[in-house]
C-alpha cells in the first residue's frame, strides 16, 4: 500500500521538544504518505508518544514544523517563525485528526452513543439524526451494535477502546493517531481491537500507531520506525527492520520485545 508517489499526509521536519531540561524530541524528521500505516516502536521515554501528541498539537513543539495534509496544525507561519494559533483555530484543524488513547478516555457521564455523537453534533454541527445514524454504522463496524445505551463503565476495556475508535472515526478524520491502543487491555481483548485497526488500514486510512504489538506492526504496517532518546534511530519496511535491524540499539530493543 505504501508508495512513494502518494501525497504526504504528515510531514515532520526538525521537531524538537523538551520538558524543562528533559529533551523528549531532538530533531525528528518523518513523512507519512496517504493511506500508509506507520508503526512507532521504542522503549518508554523514547519520545514516540510525545511525537504523536505533537502531530495533533496536544503538545506544543519548541522548534521545527509538522504539516498535516499540507497544513500546519497548531501554528501559522510568519516569515521564518511559527506563531501559535488561537485555541479555536487549532481546534478546527485538530478535528480532522482522530486520536485513540491508551486509557480510552471515553466520557464516563455519556452513553456510548452520546460519546460518539458529541463532537459531530457539537463541533461539526451535524444534525442529531444524521450523527446518530452514522454512530450506529460505526458501532456496527466495531462490533458493538447492542451497546449504544451502555455507559463506558459497563463495558470491558476492549469494548471501550472500540467505542473510542468509533468516536474518533465519527469525525471523518483524514489521519488516525493511535497511542498504545492495546497496552491497557487484558491479553484476550487485544485481538478485537487490532482487528478493527486492521480493517481501517485495509480501507486505506492513514494511520500512525505507537505500539508494542510487533505482529500487528509486521503484518499491517507499511513502515516501522524505531525511536530512542528522542530521535528516529531506524526506519524501513517492518519485515526488514524486524529481521535485519542495522543499529545496535534496535537489535537490543527487538531482542527484548520479540
- Are 226 and 234 in contact by the 8 Å Cβ rule? The answer is yes
Of 19-27, 148-156, 230-238, 244-252, the window that binds other proteins (rule: CB under 8 A) is 148-156
Among 171, 242, 167, 169, CA closest to 211: 242
Assess 94 for contact with other proteins (CB under 8 A): yes
Size of site (CB under 8 A) for other proteins: 34
β-pairing, 63-68 with 97-100?
unpaired
| C-alpha distances in Å from residue 10, one per residue of 64, 70, 144, 166 | 13, 8, 31, 22
CA distance 16 to 28: 7
Q: Which of 49, 56, 117, 159 binds other proteins (CB under 8 A)?
A: 56
| C-alpha distances in Å from residue 181, one per residue of 26, 98, 130, 157, 210 | 25, 13, 28, 10, 8
Residue 141 CB: number of other CB atoms within 10 A? Answer: 17
Of 31-39, 42-50, 93-101, 237-245, the window that binds other proteins (rule: CB under 8 A) is 93-101
Residue 119 CB, shortest distance to other proteins, in Å, is: 4
Of 62 and 154, the one with the shorter C-beta distance to other proteins is 154
Of 17 and 249, the one with the shorter C-beta distance to other proteins is 17
Q: Per-residue x/- marks for other proteins, 149-188, CB under 8 A?
A: --xxxx---------x--xx--x-----------------
Is 102 in a helix, a strand, or coil? coil
Q: Which of residues 109-128 bind other proteins (CB under 8 A)?
A: 109-111, 118-119, 122-124
Assess 5 for contact with other proteins (CB under 8 A): no
Of 88 and 258, the one with the shorter C-beta distance to other proteins is 88
Phi-psi region of 42 (alpha: psi -120 to 50; beta: other; left: phi over 0): left
Alpha-helical regions (H) of the chain:
48-55, 87-94, 112-122, 128-141, 157-169, 187-202, 214-220, 238-243, 248-257
- Are 9 and 176 in contact by the 8 Å Cβ rule? The answer is no
Q: Which of 72, 85, 96, 184 binds other proteins (CB under 8 A)?
A: 96
Of 100 and 224, the one with the shorter C-beta distance to other proteins is 100
CA distance 177 to 182: 13
Residue 164 CB, shortest distance to other proteins, in Å, is: 8
Q: Which of 19, 76, 84, 87 binds other proteins (CB under 8 A)?
A: 87
Of 2 and 151, the one with the shorter C-beta distance to other proteins is 151
Assess 107 for contact with other proteins (CB under 8 A): yes
Q: Which residues bind to other proteins, rule: CB under 8 A?
A: 56, 58, 87-88, 91-92, 94-99, 101, 103, 105-111, 118-119, 122-124, 151-154, 164, 167-168, 171
Amino acid at each position: 500500500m505504501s508508495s512513494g508517489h502518494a501525497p504526504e499526509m504528515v510531514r515532520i521536519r526538525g521537531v524538537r521538544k523538551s520538558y524543562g531540561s528533559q529533551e523528549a524530541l531532538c530533531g525528528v524528521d518523518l513523512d507519512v504518505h496517504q493511506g500508509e500505516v506507520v508503526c512507532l516502536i521504542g522503549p518508554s521515554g523514547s519520545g514516540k508518544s510525545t511525537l504523536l501528541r505533537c502531530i495533533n498539537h496536544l503538545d506544543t513543539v519548541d522548534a521545527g514544523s509538522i504539516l498535516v495534509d499540507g497544513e500546519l496544525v497548531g501554528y501559522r507561519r510568519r516569515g521564518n517563525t511559527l506563531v501559535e494559533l488561537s485555541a479555536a483555530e487549532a481546534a478546527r484543524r485538530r478535528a480532522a485528526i482522530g486520536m485513540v488513547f491508551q486509557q480510552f478516555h471515553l466520557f464516563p457521564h455519556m452513553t456510548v452513543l452520546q460519546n460518539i455523537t458529541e463532537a459531530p453534533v457539537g463541533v461539526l454541527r451535524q444534525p442529531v439524526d444524521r450523527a446518530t445514524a452514522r454512530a450506529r454504522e460505526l458501532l456496527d463496524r466495531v462490533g458493538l451494535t447492542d451497546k449504544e445505551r451502555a455507559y463506558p463503565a459497563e463495558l470491558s476495556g476492549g469494548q471501550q477502546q472500540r467505542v473510542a475508535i468509533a468516536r474518533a472515526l465519527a469525525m471523518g478524520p483524514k489521519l488516525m493517531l493511535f497511542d498504545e491502543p492495546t497496552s491497557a487491555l487484558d491479553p484476550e481483548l487485544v485481538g478485537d481491537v487490532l482487528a478493527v485497526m486492521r480493517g481501517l488500514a485495509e480501507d486505506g486510512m492513514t494511520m500512525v500507531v505507537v505500539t508494542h504489538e510487533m505482529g500487528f506492526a509486521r503484518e499491517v504496517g507499511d513502515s516501522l520506525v524505531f525511536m530512542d532518546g528522542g530521535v528516529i534511530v531506524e526506519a524501513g519496511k517492518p519485515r526488514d527492520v524486524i529481521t535485519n535491524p542495522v543499529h545496535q540499539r534496535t537489535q537490543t530493543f527487538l531482542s527484548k520485545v520479540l
